[in-house]
Amino acid sequence: MTRLEGKVALVTGAASGIGHESAILFAANGAKVACVDTVKERNVATAAAITSAGGSAISLVADVSKAGDMDRVVATTVEEYGALHVAFNNAGIMHPDDGNAVDTEESIWDLTMGVNAKGVFFGCKYEIPAMLASGGGSIINTASFVAVMGSATSQIAYTASKGAVQALTRELAIVHARQNIRVNSLCPGPLRTDLLMNFLDTTEKKDRRLVHIPMGRFGEASEMAEAALWLASNESSYVTGTDLMVDGGLSAAYVTPEA
C-alpha cells in the first residue's frame, strides 16, 4: 500500500539524518517530494536516490532561517507539482558550543533559535497558505524529547528552540483544526545520527544519555521516518496538536504523569 499516493511533500533537512530517511520513505509510499537543505551535493543525492528508484523528487537549496528562501521553496514546489499536502519541517542544528546559560554565547543562541525555531515558523508561514489552496494537509515539526524533560548534557539554546517548536505546533494545530490542516510535533529521543554523535563527542557523554533510555540504545533516523510517515498519512487523520514521543521509553520513565 502506498500511504501517500497522490500527495506532494516538502521535507527540510533532507540531505541527511531524519530528513533524508523521511524523504526516501515518503517517496517510496507514493509522494512527490521536494527535498530542501543547505548542503547542495547531499541534497541532490537524496533527490537522485528517489528518482533512481522510480519516484519523483526535486532538490531545492535553501536556508530555512530566511523568510525569502522558504517562500521560494514552497512556491517552487507548488509550481512543480501543483499542490502541497505534507510538510516536514525537520531542519535543525546542534552547535558544539551550545552549553549552559552561563557559558553559551549570544551568537550561538541566535544561530540555534534562527534555524530550529524561526525555521519552523517560516516553514509554516508559507506552507499553510499552500495547503489551504490544496484542500488541507499535514504539517510535522521536529521538536525533541528535551522540549518535555530537559537534557542531561547542557545545550540550552537547542532545548529552548525545541520548546518553541512544541508550543508553536500546538497553537497552529488549534488555529487550523477546522481547515483540514493537522499540525503535530515529532519528538525524537537520542539518535545515532551524525548530528548527535558529533555533539556527544566522548564516551562519557554518550553513556550519560544511554543510561536514561529504557531500551538501552540510541534510536535510528529510519525509525523517526516511520513515525513521520504515519503523521503524514491519512492513518493519523484524527491526530493534531500532539507531541509524538519516539524516544525508546525515555519520557515514560522520567516524566511524572499529571495527577
| SS3 category, 60 | strand
- d(Cα 76, Cα 69) in Å, to the nearest integer? 10
| DSSP 3-state of 29 | coil
Kindly name the residue from 81, 126, 158, 238 that is annotated as catalytic. 158
- State how far the Cα of 151 lies from the Cα of 143, in Å rounded to an integer: 13
Q: Is 30 helix (H, G, I), strand (E, B) or coil?
A: coil
Please name the residue that has the C-alpha cell 552561563: 102
**Strand ranges (E), the chain:** 8-12, 32-37, 56-61, 86-89, 137-142, 181-188, 243-246
In angstroms, the Cα distances linking 69 to 66, 140, 148 are 5, 19, 30
Q: What letter would DSSP give residue 258?
A: P
81 carries an active-site annotation:
no
Residues 6+ apart with CB under 8 A from 132: 179, 181
Chain centroid offset of residue 95 CA: 17
Query: What 8-state DSSP symbol labels residue 256?
Result: P
Amino acid found at 40:
K
Answer yes or no: are the C-beta atoms of 10 and 34 closer than 8 Å: yes
Q: Which residues are catalytic?
A: 158
